[in-house]
Amino acid sequence: MKNFEKMEYGFGQHLILDGYGANREKLMDIDYIYSFLHKYPEDIEMTKIMPPYVFKYYAPTPEDWGISGFVIIAESHISIHTFPEKLYLSVDIFSCKPFNVDRAIQDITEMFEIQKSEIRLLDRGLEFPRSIRAVENFMRLERKNFVL
């Protein structure tokens, strides 16, 4: 009996954090948001491939203004949207490389002084082949077993 390399699937994890009761001053500080996006990829051992893009948004409803930003990392992206008047922020970290989700939640909670949060963790691309060699071996085996 041959040993076959285990097929591994799944593109990566997507952490979605909604934070309530956050520090208003930090949520409205465009430099703080830029610094977070500039430094945090390295903190979670990701590779930033462009500078962060951060901007202030003025909504038609004044209390809905905020700051949004994202940074593209080799592993995917990190994004943030703040609503200072509502003491709310949303942060997404999507990565094809495993990362310490618990640490990321703790870091973001501490950095923005979040009082309450909703956390979702998605496994993205469940059928994405992680190992091309394993897929090739599987396909060869399937073709051998296929009889007309």
Catalytic residues: 76, 81, 96
Task: Quote the CA–CA distance of 53 and 58 in Å, as a whole number.
Answer: 16
Q: Is 25 helix (H, G, I), strand (E, B) or coil?
A: helix
Question: With 0-12 CB in 10 A as exposed, 13-18 as middle and 19+ as buried, what is 22?
Answer: buried
| CA distances for 85 relative to 23, 27, 145, angstroms | 10, 9, 63
Q: How far is it between the farthest Cα atoms of the chain?
A: 69
